[in-house]
Amino acid sequence: MGKVFVVLVGMLLPLKAHSHPHAWIELTTVLEFNAAGQAIGLRVGWLFDEVYSLYTLDGQSQSVEVVTALGRETLDNLESYQYFTHVKQGDKAVSFHRVTDYASQFKGARWHLEFLVPFQTPLAVEADDLSYQVFDPTYYVSILHGEGTIDQGTSTCQYQISAPTPSADMQDRAENLDAFTSAPASLGHHFAETVRLSCPS
């Protein structure tokens, strides 16, 4: 009964104007390293749901020109949002360059956008102090890793995804002492997965 009450009361919360997710992205992420073994950026892949994919095409054909332009336009729009990507080394936020390396194509009825978020300076990843999150702060779009969506490639680093349960989130905050303060405290943050890296040296 108490639970039901809390749920009902929780439903009253207006939170953000754009709260419920209206689009869903299946996320893939992997770090890219240079020859010296430094991380140079995070390669992010977004597989959009069918409704959004069709919506964003807006009746245009799936031609290479159209789909490439769509990718460019979307990434330009996302630039001031840090591409919804937040990377931390220790408790320091990592800043990015503008995205130039991207691929935009349709996989059947679903749009796939992949891009490299380049770090301002290459990072020496030696300990387990690197972590990242990809989320829409307004939670208008849900962005989550699917099954087996981190391909470690040749890297020796282990990726560990923490599910976005609020309790895990609390733990996370306790452990990291406000690790992601640069991100707006928001609903989207509440439902973000956290990926932690541990690289044996």
Partner 1 sequence: MPLLIKKVSAVMLFSFLPMTAHAASGDLWGQAVGYIYTQQQMFHQDLANALRLVQELGPSAAWGLISVSFLYGIFHAAGPGHGKAIIATYVASHERYLKRAIGLSFASAFMQGVTAIALVSIVVGVIGWSRREAQGLVPYLEQISFAFVAVIGAVLMMRVVKGVWKSRPMQAAHEGHHSHDHTQGHHHHTHDHEHGHEHHHDHDHDDMTCHTCGHSHAPDPRAMAESMSWKDRMAIVLSIGIRPCSGSVLVFIFAHIIGLPVAGMGAVMAISLGTAITVSALAALAIYMRQTADHVVAKTSGVMAQRMGLILSFTGGAVILFLGVSLFLQARMTVHPLF
Binding site for partner 1 (CB under 8 A): 3, 6-24, 49-52, 54-56, 58-59, 74, 77-78, 80-81, 136, 138, 140-142, 164-167, 169-170, 187, 190-191
Collapsed DSSP state (helix, strand, coil) of residue 82: helix
- Least gap, CB of 116 to partner 1 (angstroms): 18
CB of 52 closer than 8 Å to CB of 46: no
Nearer to partner 1, 9 or 36 (CB): 9
- Least gap, CB of 155 to partner 1 (angstroms): 30
Nearer to partner 1, 12 or 177 (CB): 12
Spell out the residues 6+ positions from residue 86 whose beta carbon is closer than 8 angstroms to its own: 93, 132, 133, 134, 135, 180, 182, 183
Q: Is the dihedral of CA 56, 58, 62, 65 positive or negative?
A: negative
Nearer to partner 1, 50 or 91 (CB): 50
- Least gap, CB of 136 to partner 1 (angstroms): 8
| Closest-CA residue to 149 (of 187, 118, 103, 195) | 195
- Least gap, CB of 19 to partner 1 (angstroms): 5
| Closest-CA residue to 145 (of 156, 157, 159) | 159
For 5, other C-beta atoms within 10 Å of its C-beta total 9
Nearer to partner 1, 5 or 35 (CB): 5
Nearer to partner 1, 189 or 196 (CB): 189
- Least gap, CB of 130 to partner 1 (angstroms): 26
